[in-house]
Structure formats: C-alpha cells, structure tokens
Amino acid sequence: MKLATIGVGNAGSKVIDRMVEFEQATGRDLCRHTLVINTARTDLAKPEHVPEDRRLLIGETHQKAKGHGVGGDAAIGAEVAQTEIDDIRRIFDDVEIHEVDAILVAAGLGGGTGSGAAPVVIEELQKMYDEPVYGLGMLPGKYEGGRPALNAARSLQSFVNKVDNFIAFDNDAWRSRGQTIEEGYEDMNRELATRIVTLLAAGEVDESEVGENAMDSSDIMRTMEVGGVSSIGYASTGVDTPDDGLLSRFSEEEVSNMESTDAAKIKGLVRRAVNSRLTVPCDVASAERALIIFAGPPSEISRKGVESARDWLEQETETVDVLAGDDPRTDSDTLAAVVLLSNVTDTPRIKEIQDQAVDAQDTIQQQEAVREEEIESLITDDDNDLDPIV
Amino acid sequence: MKLSLFGVGDAGTRLVDKLLQAEVETGRNFTDGNVLAFNTAAEAFGETDTLPEERQILIGDTHSAVNQYVEPDADGPDTDTASATSRDHSPGVAGDPELGAEVADDELPEIRRALDLVDDTEVDAAMVVAGFGGGTGCGVGSVLLEELKSIYEIPVYVLGALPAADESDERAHTAARAVRTFVPLADAVLPVDNDAWARSTQPLTEQYDEINEMVATRMLSLFAAGESDPATVSEMRIDPADVMRTLAVGGLSSIGHASIEVDTSDEGLLARLMQLLGLAEETPDTQTDAATIKRLVRSALNSKLTLPCDIESTDRVLVILSGPPSDISRKGFETGRYLLEEETGTVEVLAGDEPLPNASEITATVLFSNVTDVPRIDELQERAVAYQREQDADTAVIDTATSIEGATAVAADASTAAPDDESDHPFEFHGTEEQQENGDAHGGDTVSPDADASDESTATDTPDGDATDGSAADTSADSDTATEDGDATTAAATSSDEHE
C-alpha cells in the first residue's frame, strides 16, 4: 500500500516519525507523504524524519494556545483546527493524492491536540478525497488520569464515526517498568510503527519477485472496509540471510531439516502474533474480518504453514473471512507475521476508559457547578462586611 | 513560560528582586527583562540587587498625603505600621490602601508610560507581585491589576505575602480586603502565608529574605520550567498552556515542592557514558525507580505549601518533575500523577517534566489551583472584621449620618461581586468612616487635581464621579462604579467590571 500519513499532536507525530524511521531501516516505501500538525511549537521540533516544510503549527493566533499547546483541552484543540482549516487544507495541495491508496491519521487520544484536532482534520480529508481515511489512535493508560480518559472516550466516538477504520493502541497494555521519561513512549512507538508499517507496506512492491501468493493493497483495504475498531498482532523470528556466503555454507545441511519444520514455525508465529500483546487487547472471536501477512524472504514462507495458520485463525475468529498472503522481502533477516483483526467489538480497555470518562465528566461538572460560589465564599467574610479596595 | 513581573510596594519590590536573582542563579530566563517595580516610597528600591534602576518607578511623591520623609531608624512602611502612632511618619502611603489606590489613579499616566517598557507580546502572562498587608501593595496593586487586565489579553496573576499573626490588625484588614479585590480581578492569585513559613525564634522582618527565597524557588520551578535550555525536548514537557489552563479557574492557588538527590556516583557516570557510546544496552541502575518518583510526588503533596490548605478542595492540579530525564522513571511519573488525582479528588491533573540533564536532584513542584478551604483566609477575615467594627465604633459617634448614606452607595456596588442572595444585605459596617477619617488626616483639600485625574483615567467612571460632598455620589443600583464618599478617596473609585 502507499500511504499519505498525518500525525496530529505530540503522540501522533512521534508515531509517524517512527514509522518513517522503520520503513527506511527495512527498505520499505510506505509513507509517500508525511505531515505533522501540532499546536505546540516545541513539539513540532521533535520529529526527526519529517521535513521542516511538512510540519504545520496551528493555533498560533488562538488566544489560549498561542503556539504553546492547548493544555490538554480537546475542545480548544478542535476549535483551533476548525479555525485554521484553510491552512490545513492548503498543505494538502502538495499531496499527489492519486499516488496513494489511503490516508492514515495518527493521534494520541488522551491529549488535547490529538483528540480534538484530529477528528476535524479527518472530516476535512473525507470531504476532499475518495480514498479511505484510516485512524491510528493511542488510548491513554488508566494512570494518565480522568481528563485524558474523557478526551479519549469522546474523541474515540468522533474517530470511529469519521474514519474508514480505526486502529487502536492501548498504552496500558504496553506499559512496562524501567522506562524513563527521556525514553518516553519511544519503545511503544517503535513497536506500534513496526506493526503498522509491516501490515500496510504489504503489496507496495510491484516488481517481478511478487509471487502469486502476495498480498495486495486491495486485500488489506477490503479487510478494513468494515470499519469499527481494529487490533494488530505481530510476531517475528530471525532467519539466515540466504546470500550470506559464510552462513549459508554452514547451514546448507540444515536447510532440508528446516523445510519440514517450516509449516509448524509459520503457524506458531501466527499463534504468537495473536496471543501476544495485540495493539489493543480484545476478544479475537469478536473480529469481523481478519488478515495475515507474512513479511520476509519468500523461501522461508511455507505454503503449508500459511494454510494451517489461516485455518487456525478462522477457528479463533469464528469467521470465514480470513485472508492470508505474503509480503516478499528477499533481503530481510526476519520473518514476521502480522495479523489484522478488523472491527473487533469486544475490547475491555475501551469499556474501562468510557467508565473512567463518565466519572471524570461527573467530577468536572460538579466542580464547575460550585466553582464561582466557592471562590466567592472564600474571599468574602461571613457577613460580607469587608469591601474591595477598587 | 515567559512572565512579566510587576513589583508593587516594598514587599513586592523585594520579591521581584529575589525572583530576578533566582533567574540568574538557575539560568532559567523567564522574564526576558520584562520587569517593573512601583513604589510610593523610594526606600525599598535602595535594597534591590538585580532589579535595574530605570525599571523602578516612584509614584505619588508629589501627593500631599504621601510621606517621602524617612526616619533614620525606620524599618519601612511594611513593617512599622504596626503601631498606629508611627503612621504619619512612615514613608509612602503609610499602610493605607485607599490612599495607595488614589495615588495610583492620580498617576495612571505615569504608570501607563512605565508599562510601555514591558512588552506583553513577548510574554505568556503577567504577574503583579505585592504584599497583601501593605497600603501600596494593595492600593496601587489593585489599580495596576485593573489597568493590566484592561490592556492585556494575556492572563494576569497576583503573587504576594499575607501578613503574619504578629503583624497589626490594620494589615490583616488590608489583606482581607486585598483578597476580596484581587481574586475577582486577577486570573489567579497566589498568596504566600508568612506565618506558615516563619520560625518563631526570629522576628519576621529578618526572615523575609528566606521566605522570599523559598517563594522564588517555587515560582521558578513552576513558571520558568524549561526556560533554562529550550533546546532540550522531552515528550512530556510542560507547555505554558498547561500552566495557564490549570490556573484558568481562578481563585487562590498554592504550591508544594520537594526534591531528592540523584545518584551521581562514578559508576553512575560511567554507566551513563557507556550508554552514550552505545556500549550499555540497558538503562543503568542509576535510574530512579518508579516507587521513588511516586514518593517524591507524595512528599511534594505533603510538603509545607505556600498557602496551607485542604488539598481536597483544589480544582485543578499541575505537577512538574525537574531533573535528568534519563533518571526519571516514566511509570513513577504516571503513578505520581495518578496519586495526585486520587488524593485531591480532581481529574484535571496535568503533568509534565522539565529536562535538566546535568541536575543532581529531581524536584517535584505541585500547583494546586483554586483551593477553597483555606483556614488562614478565614482567620484574616475574622481579624479584619473585628478591626473594622472597632474602627467603626470609634467614629460612629462622630458622623453616623454619613456612614449610613455612604453604606448605601457601597452596597449598590458590592452587589456585583457578592452572590445574589447577599446583594440586599445591609452594609452596616464598611470602610467609609475610615476613609473619611483618612481623607481628613491626609488633607482633603487636594481634591481638584485628584478628581481631574480620575475622570481622565477611568473611562467607565460615572459622570458624577467627581462629586465632592460627603454623601453617596452614585446610588444607582445598576452601576458597577464604586463611587465612594470622601474628598480624597473619590479618585480611588474605579469600575470593578473592567476585568470582565
């Protein structure tokens, strides 16, 4: 697939940056256009792989933002994007849309810019183009608090309604001990970028080496067209590079042995992809459609293995709509299986976020209701005897 | 974020000076030189170390009621007004906020000229720094605050110390009224409770410096976070919008602060070097673990706050972790934030970090915005009311009639600030008699120039604002203009709705 990618807000921009990094490192060419949009000038400086002229600062003239972010307020994020929709539209003028198959908009749903501005951007893109617009959203963890949960729960509705498919990523599922603030969400972003790029970059190669089993962009788009929320599973294993003379000499004998184990290996990889951490934990059986892509040297992909892996996933997902195909990467030193579970309807984490959001909204409303009264009562004495000076 | 600072009065001037010193010491340049100090007596100006001379504006020196004479042994107006007898001899406005406001109104052209020295487009917010108990701080401060609110689009905050328990009742009275004045006008008010910070063994005046230093540390940790090296980027960096949004609810705010040392032993450095060279795969042990960060946030939460209060009464919270980013555990950062949410009961908790790669400690600074359960404020109000009643009783015999008529005028005005259910409350006691008395004491014969200046400068002033008789000048119930009786105080009356 060929993509135009747009990162909105800090988290979204970071993921786009990591996607470009990953595709460059693995010789893929997925992101034909990259663009990052932010309300904070300092955050716009962070991406390393997005050209300067593809970074758009919005809200510089907004009274509450002024190029310093929106303070986690999704309403301001949306307002700023709405106000500067012309600037946003203008920056798409450079995008040769006929060169891409789809548009991907990435955003963190807990912050103010991503959750507020991204749905506005998506709405505009849907108006402008016929190509499908996919969303990639990072859900805030429980410990990020009530306000991010509220932002996310509200933004999720806008996202899912407006995009053709929404790929969710749960920060909590990927949280681990030992990460520092400096690293931030780097390793999470890398994990996510690996999954997204491995999935969507399939079918981009139009050269002779494409086999009859190769996955096509249209297959991926067909799987995603059902809409809703999707989750991605991924597993990989190292392989011996065939053109490595020294190694291949040593392993020549083993090759024949490996062939018999290939099928089991492929199936095992898919099982691991589904059972290991999905981007958003979900009940696999609730998926409407599913797709498996094997990315790696074609010699490593056993047809028998692919078939049995597909059968296995059909059973797991209780759907007959499971596609499986290859993304041949002759020079790759890894074999990866990536599984897309499209329109999963049973995702406990989203339910949790919604519950947390409802509580947060109640608290916020209660606070707002008494705010003026409490301040007034604090600053005046009991009988209101004391006068202000001016 | 960038702030412009406006010191008012002795206490305000000293604190601004201290903030500028801290700016130099920490390398966090957050004012960009956008500072001014206003005073009615030149005294505190002589005590400044960092504040440039051309940014110290003396006002009211030509006003007949303002005393520029300084006794050789005088401590200054903010400290010696404790005894009522020294009042006439103390410099400046002698602790009288009405006179302070009047002087400021008279000198608005001068103040406005000075304000041109500060570029509000370069800063994210403005801050008036004033002692809450002083006549200049409160009087001039109130007028300046109104002026800034009317000319600036950026938020205007107020920072200043509340008078201590051993200071005079008059100062407590001024402070209680200052709270009542500043809060509706300012975007947020950050009072500092001197009592909470004073050590009983020393006289308070000797501790001002330490307290100011404590305040400066907290203010810089909060407002100047990230200004030392704007090139360092961090994923969770605090934005000015975060601070502004937290404070946007208004009311009173309080700050907590705590630090821990980080391991800077040789092994730590070596490990860090190894990491830099790509020789070490994992983050070394020097990383402060999640539990330590959470403990640090808890100590900031339980630390002595600038304004002691019930943190459960807070509306919004912001926490900033400053320190080497490679040492701060992200899990600790998240659990620390969640701890604040649980302890304060609010879901509006913003968190960010300030990367200081070479720092030897990690600091947690917590801002509790709009705290509404503040025992110190209640105490001040009780003292103020008692003092006011005492003053009223003293003068009631002299001019009862004036008092009642004046009260009606003020009641009409106060209804805008007071909740509806209190708008019809009879104002039997208020400052009118006192103002009348002050007017007398400071020479009511200076009325003509005052009245002129007032008309020029306060656009929303009522046409009859220059009424000079002792009765109510404006009794219309829908007027927001606080036109008070008394010759000398006419000019002090300015609209209280300008901030809206």
Q: Give domain B253-369's CATH architecture.
A: 2-Layer Sandwich (3.30)
**Is the same domain home to A243 and A167?**
no
In terms of pTM, does the model score above 0.90?
no
**Is the same domain home to A23 and A162?**
yes
- How far is Cα A62 from Cα B194, in angstroms, rounded to an integer? 38
Burial class of residue A308, CB neighbours in 10 A (0-12, 13-18, 19+): middle
Q: Taking CB atoms and an 8 Å limit, are B382 and A377 in contact across chains?
A: no
Q: So what's the pLDDT on residue A344?
A: 96
Q: Which residue from B392, B404, B417, B405 is spatially nearest to B474, judged by alpha carbons?
A: B405
Q: Does B355 touch chain A (CB under 8 A)?
A: yes
Whether the predicted pLDDT of B423 surpasses 50 = no
Q: Taking CB atoms and an 8 Å limit, are B431 and A387 in contact across chains?
A: yes
Summary mean pLDDT of chain A: 90
Which residues face B355 on adjacent strands?
Answer: B323
Closest CB from A68, A184, A387 relative to B240: A68
Q: So what's the pLDDT on residue A243?
A: 52
Amino acid identity, position B237: R
**Is the same domain home to A183 and A44?**
yes
- How far is Cα A110 from Cα A10, in angstroms, rounded to an integer? 11
Closest CB from B97, B242, B290 relative to A389: B97
pLDDT > 70 in chain B, percent: 68
DSSP SS3 for A379: helix
Over range A135-162, report the average pLDDT. Answer: 96
Which residues face B252 on adjacent strands?
Answer: B189
The pLDDT tens digits for B90-113 are 678 888 999 999 999 999 999 999
Q: Which residue from B446, B445, B435 is spatially nearest to B482, judged by alpha carbons?
A: B435
For B122, other C-beta atoms within 10 Å of its C-beta total 12
Chain B residues closer than 8 Å to A388 by CB: 142, 177, 180-181, 184, 414, 417, 482, 496
Chain B residues closer than 8 Å to A69 by CB: 239-242
Quick check: is A63 in a domain? yes
- Among A200, A227, A260, give the residue marking a domain's end: A200
**Is the same domain home to A33 and A172?**
yes
The pLDDT tens digits for A12-27 are 999 999 999 999 999 8
Structural tokens at position A176: 């681990």
pLDDT confidence band for B429 (50 / 70 / 90): very low
Q: So what's the pLDDT on residue B83?
A: 39
**Is the same domain home to A44 and A186?**
yes
- b/e map B312-328, b = 16+ CB within 10 Å: ebbbbbbbbbbbbbbbb
Q: Does B426 touch chain A (CB under 8 A)?
A: no
pLDDT confidence band for B415 (50 / 70 / 90): very low
Q: Does A380 touch chain B (CB under 8 A)?
A: yes
Quick check: is A295 in a domain? yes
Q: So what's the pLDDT on residue B461?
A: 42
Q: So what's the pLDDT on residue A338?
A: 96
Residues 90-129 of A with CB under 8 A from B: none
Over range B411-426, report the average pLDDT. Answer: 44
Interface test with B, best of A379, A380, A382, A383 (most B CBs within 10 A): A379
Over range A340-353, report the average pLDDT. Answer: 96
Amino acid identity, position B404: I
Structural tokens at position B106: 């008279």
Q: The domain containing residue A191 runs over which residues?
A: 3-200
Q: Which residue from A355, A163, A380 is spatially nearest to B347, judged by alpha carbons?
A: A355
Comparison of pLDDT for A255 and B500, the residue scoring more: A255
**Is the same domain home to A164 and A232?**
no
Lookup result for tokens 């499908």: A132
Quick check: is A206 in a domain? no
**Is the same domain home to A227 and A168?**
no
The pLDDT tens digits for A37-92 are 999 988 898 899 999 999 999 998 888 888 888 989 999 999 999 999 999 999 88
Burial class of residue B242, CB neighbours in 10 A (0-12, 13-18, 19+): buried
Q: Does A145 touch chain B (CB under 8 A)?
A: yes
Q: For residue A233, say whether it is annotated as part of any ligand binding site.
A: no
The pLDDT tens digits for A301-318 are 888 999 999 999 999 999
**Is the same domain home to A37 and A181?**
yes
Q: Does B385 touch chain A (CB under 8 A)?
A: yes
**Is the same domain home to A325 and A185?**
no
Whether the predicted pLDDT of B418 surpasses 80 = no
Residues 59-78 of A with CB under 8 A from B: 63-66, 68-73
Q: So what's the pLDDT on residue A92?
A: 87
Closest CB from A143, A176, A180 relative to B287: A180
Q: Which residue from B223, B232, B100, B236 is spatially nearest to B154, judged by alpha carbons?
A: B223
**How many domains would you assign to chain A?**
2
Quick check: is A378 in a domain? no
Closest CB from A68, A371, A385 relative to B124: A68
DSSP 8-state symbol, B120: T
Among 1.25.50.10, 3.40.630.10, 3.30.110.40, 3.40.50.1440, name the CATH number for the domain at B3-223. 3.40.50.1440
- Among A168, A200, A232, give the residue marking a domain's end: A200
Whether the predicted pLDDT of B479 surpasses 50 = no
Q: So what's the pLDDT on residue B279?
A: 53
Name the residue ranges covered by the structural domains of chain B: 3-223, 253-369, 400-492
Helix B97-106 and helix B447-457, axial crossing angle in degrees, nearest 10: 70
Quick check: is A352 in a domain? no
Q: For residue A189, say whether it is annotated as part of any ligand binding site.
A: yes
Comparison of pLDDT for B245 and B404, the residue scoring more: B245
Q: Does B438 touch chain A (CB under 8 A)?
A: no
pLDDT confidence band for B162 (50 / 70 / 90): very high
Over range A289-311, report the average pLDDT. Answer: 92
CB B144 within 8 A of CB B40: no
- ipTM entry: 0.86
Write the CA distances from A372 to A45, A368, B351, integer angstroms. 39, 8, 25
Quick check: is A265 in a domain? yes
Quick check: is A358 in a domain? no
Q: Taking CB atoms and an 8 Å limit, are B177 and A389 in contact across chains?
A: yes
CATH of the domain at A13: 3.40.50.1440
**Is the same domain home to A175 and A245?**
no
Q: So what's the pLDDT on residue B482?
A: 42
Least confident span in A94-98, B145-149, B289-293: A94-98
Q: Taking CB atoms and an 8 Å limit, are B493 and A390 in contact across chains?
A: yes
**Is the same domain home to A193 and A224?**
no
Structural tokens at position B409: 């005028």
CB A136 within 8 A of CB A167: yes
**Is the same domain home to A29 and A159?**
yes
